[in-house]
Chains A and B, each alone.
Chain A
Amino acid sequence: MDFSLVNRYDQDNVIVGKLDQLINWARSNSPWFFQFGLACCAIEMIAAAQPRYDLERFGIMPRATPRMADIMIVSGTVTLKMASRLKRLYEQMANPKYVVSMGSCANSGGPYWQYGYHVVKGVDLVVPVDVYIPGCPPRPEALLEGLLHLKKKIREETPLRKAA
């Protein structure tokens, strides 16, 4: 958003910008996440939402239902049994929706990459992923960095114009 004109026309409260920018500003500053905590990464996700690392100062609020969420943070090992439920919950989220793959299990199978017969080797085999956060588990600050990258990605979208 271009705030330079505010300084010139500060009595008139005028802001000039694109409508795209306004929509993206609104969307990126309140990405509510669907807390899809599956395993150990869920603990770090919860820790990131606690007062010490505080996700909520960025507008990132946890929601327990996919219907109200913008982001799905897949934190933990996705087993083949869970994969069909994960797909169903992803489909229950309303557009625009994003998926953050947190931790090595969700990125590529994690410690179970070699012998895990029951593990989905990376959640991107089931749903499209926007941001991958490496770590086992990633520290809350790493999760925060990943979510800030996601915010940057949302700010650069073009919701009104079909993307080329």
Chain B
Amino acid sequence: MEFPEIVKQMEAAFPEAAVSVDETACCLLIVPERWPAVAEHLKTDPGTAFDVLMCLTGYDRGPGELLGVAYNLYSMEHAHKLEIRIETPRDDSVIPSVAHLWRTADWHEREAYDMFGITFDGHPDLRRMLLPDDWEGYPLRKDYQTPDFYHGIPIPKDKRGWE
């Protein structure tokens, strides 16, 4: 199935879930509340059959803007792809987890939590993965400030004379 057909089928099944459709990027922006139902449908419905979650990426649109997560889905049976994006406000960013549907999402969601601070509701083990457990802050946000010390080890800010 091509992208427009997938969109048409999705809109028929979940009329109020889609927020916007981007033709050039072939992605669908949906609301977080309907995400578990939509994900379940995309995986189990024989017409779409998206059984592989290729990648889950967090992104930040800018300081003061929304935080988002992009899901890249692929179907082995039909060999078609889809991208789903979900955007949330910065302060209270909660997205339902899909780790129970696609196992790939388990560690990718942990990375998105570690780097952006996006909480995934229903995730079996949401804790920091790449950074130390007692790190403060979410580094890949656009308004992140590097701390000066970490347990006594300095993180130099003044780089004059380093090059």
Q: How far is the CB of B3 from chain A (nearest CB, A)?
A: 36
Contact A117 B159 (CB under 8 A): no
A84, A114, A118, A120: the one within 8 Å of B159 (CB):
A114
Please classify how large the interface on chain A is, using the bins under 10, 10 to 19, 20 to 34, 35 or more: 10 to 19
Residues of B within 8 A of A117 (CB): 139, 144, 146-147, 155
Contact B139 A118 (CB under 8 A): yes
A-B contact number at CB 8 A: 30
Residues of chain B in range 137-154 having any CB-CB distance to chain A below 8 Å: 139, 144, 146-147, 150-151, 153-154
Please classify how large the interface on chain B is, using the bins under 10, 10 to 19, 20 to 34, 35 or more: 10 to 19
Contact A125 B131 (CB under 8 A): no
Contact B162 A113 (CB under 8 A): yes
Q: How far is the CA of A118 from the CA of B136 in the complex (A)?
A: 12
A80 at the interface (CB under 8 A from B): yes
B132 at the interface (CB under 8 A from A): yes
Q: How far is the CA of A21 from the CA of B65 in the complex (A)?
A: 68
B binding-site residues for A, Cβ under 8 Å: 130-132, 139, 144, 146-147, 150-151, 153-156, 159, 162
